[in-house]
Amino acid sequence: MRAIMVMFDTLNRRFLPPYGAEGIHAPNFERLSREAAVFDTAYAGSMPCMPARREIHTGRHNFLHRSWGPLEPFDDSVPEMLSRAGVYTHLATDHQHYWEDGGATYHNRYDTYEFFRGQEGDRWKGHVADPVLPPSLSWKSDAARRQDWINRQYMATEDLHSQTRTFDAGLEFIATNAAEDRWFLQIECFDPHEPFFSYDEHRSHYLHGIPADQVPGERADWPDYRRVTEDKDDVERVRGEYAALLTMCDASLGRVLDAMDEHGLWSDTLLMVCTDHGLLLGEHGWWGKNVQPWYDETIHTPLFIWDPRCGTRGERRTSLVQTIDLGPTLLDFFGVPPTDLMQGVPLGGVVADDTPVREAALFGGFGAHVNVTDGRYVYMRAPARASNEPLFEHTLMPTHMESRFTPDELVDAELIGPLPFTRNAPVLRIPGRTWGNAYAYGTLLFDLADDPGQQRPLLDGAVELRMAGLLTDRMRACDAPESQFVRLGLPATGAVTEEHLLARVQYAQVLAAQEDLPDAEEFGGHALGVTVPVGELLGHEGAQAALLRHLPLLANQNFAAQVADQSPWQLAVSTAGISAAVLHALDAELAALAAPVTPAGAAAAHADATDQGR
């Protein structure tokens, strides 16, 4: 018995032919759909990248307690459990987040691992001199983009790309160990996550073979996470770059399928092809993820499983499944019992005959909407108050993605617990922070049967009541802290009633979040205005006061530092909650501060000062 997981990052199911995509060259995903069960109702859970991987290891949700972070001392780890049961585990990956502060405890759970450098600004090749960055649709010129452009110089041909080398390593493991029994191989590539760096062979399907540095206009392979401000042609170029990288991923997948054929592995080897989440590529007027609700394009994921125990090929499965089920499925395949803390369910029965495993699926990101779906309706519960409080991290590993928590962040930390899943260990409870505020989007309810594009939020009290009940039940089952129920305005105990419903109460926020923002050109080119970088405005005493009055989120110094190079207008484009009215009011106040003093005004000011001096 052997198992192979091929995991892609940011694989949008709507770009895959087995899920109805047209005009996408992905023959190996089509081939895979003929060799495996295809899941139509698979959902991610804890978002984004590392929280999803923590779910694979632990078989339970984590976003109600923790943001992006490493495996905790009390966490289960499926690869480690397999290893202890005599199953050899190996990881081949170019996913650089494993080697950062917020992911540093995952890879050592495998018996062996290989890491290939160069993805998304990975701190790989050292160049002291700044590279000349080409024009880009991105507004950012941060260290990650600088490093990415350096790294690309060392991946000039496809055989040198970290994706190719990751699959090379996985195929080497297969060839070396094809005759051996009881092993698990995880081939995990960062693609097709942005930046969408691929080669002419794949780009030719969508961009007519023009090299990336010769496409007219700016580079279009790394969109910011924000509203779409580009024209239709630029949007299609970005989507074309994503499709090209997906086609490159398809070619890598084909190599694994070839190896399954070559070594005769289909008879006794489980094959699972999955992803952590999708990406918005212009849908809903947005690029990216995290800063907007977790719409279907980002959370409803592709999943393919070949299980030699039942031999199901080329069939669709409609049962509602989630990322938390992947780890328990591996344990079940090798006959290793799950722990009592795992909430995921082995999917062998779903593959075999579509046996249902759950009524509802929970998903979301830390401090954002908390969401539930029954496979038809999707309920996105926003915070009940604009403060989005109370919100706490619960951890013994206080790190962010690329940094440790600062002493300032830990000033108000408390040692509490233990929690029901921490195995008698106490945890630090630390005030939490988020990027943006889900309150601005309001509570949303969608019917995917009638509105698969999630364009028309419902106001249906009966449906909302049922979905809010499912949401509350799932939160309780996940041992959500009481603070989450308070934040969302839901009861920690007892029944959910009509007085708990928010969709109609918050509908004005829903409509406001959908309004178009004015173009930057509508604002005057003042020395102080909403098109001036936040960092400059915060350095001006009068402007700082106006800025904090209209945009209180900038009182968070860490957040302000991260967006210092963006203007208030760009910030409004990047997050909901900053309306056109707020921008116009702030711009007028800033413009008045920058207005030249007239002779009459100067004389009046002098007279006032003289009077005050008396």
Residue ending a domain, among 458, 487, 513, is 513
Same domain? 507 vs 522: no
Residue ranges in 179-276 assigned as alpha helix (H): 200-207, 232-262
Same structural domain, 452 and 531? no
Domain boundary among 301, 327, 353: 353
The pLDDT score that the predictor gives to residue 596 is 56
CATH number at residue 86: 3.40.720.10
pTM of the model: 0.94
285 and 343 in a single domain? The answer is yes
Give me the CATH number covering residue 462: 3.30.1120
Nearest CA to 387 out of 443, 429, 441, 437 is that of 437
Task: Examine the domain organization and report whether 533 and 453 are in the same domain.
Answer: no
User: In whole angstroms, how far apart are CA 391 and each of 71, 185, 487, 574, 575?
Assistant: 20, 38, 7, 22, 19
Q: Is 458 a domain residue? A: yes
Same domain, 449 and 536: no
Consecutive sets of 10 residues in the chain, 614 residues long: mean pLDDT of each? 98 98 98 98 98 98 98 98 98 97 97 98 97 89 91 97 98 98 98 97 83 61 94 95 98 98 98 98 96 97 98 98 98 98 98 98 98 98 96 98 95 97 98 90 98 98 98 98 98 98 97 91 87 94 92 84 90 87 92 65 38 38
Residues 249 and 292 placed together within one structural domain of the fold: yes
Q: What is residue 611's predicted lDDT score, i.e. its pLDDT?
A: 42
Q: Are residues 547 and 600 in the same domain?
A: yes
Structural domain includes residue 347: yes
Domain co-membership, 386 together with 327 = no
Q: Does 582 reside within a domain?
A: yes
Query: Are 78 and 325 spatial neighbours (Cβ–Cβ below 8 Å)?
Result: no
Domain enclosing residue 565, as ranges: 516-613
Instruction: Characterize 523-539 residue by residue with b for buried, 16 or more Cβ atoms within 10 angstroms of its Cβ, and e for exposed.
Output: beebebbbbbebeebbe
Task: List Cβ neighbours of 527 (8 Å cut-off, separation of 6 or more).
Answer: 594
Residue 422 maps to a domain: no
SS3 call for 595: coil
Instruction: Examine residue 413 and state whether it is found in any structural domain, yes or no.
Output: no
Which of 331, 353, 375 terminates a domain? The answer is 353
Instruction: State whether 441 and 320 are in the same domain.
Output: no
The residue behind tokens 């309150």 is 439
Look at residue 597 in the predicted model and tell me its pLDDT.
41
| 507, 520: one domain | no
pLDDT at site 211: 54
How many folded domains does the chain comprise? 3
**What is residue 601's predicted lDDT score, i.e. its pLDDT?**
39
For residues 541 and 575, membership in a common domain is answered with yes
Is 362 among the domain residues?
A: no
Q: How far apart are CA 330 and CA 307, in angstroms?
A: 11
Q: What is the pLDDT of residue 595?
A: 65
Q: Around 337, how many Cα atoms within 13 Å sit in the side-chain half-sphere?
A: 3
428 lies in a domain?
A: no
Contact status, residue 306 vs residue 40, Cβ threshold 8 Å = no
Q: Which amino acid is at 11?
A: L
According to the model, what pLDDT value does residue 614 have? 37
How many beta carbons lie within 10 A of that of residue 278, not counting itself? 25
In a domain, residue 603? The reply is yes
470 and 546 co-located in one domain = no
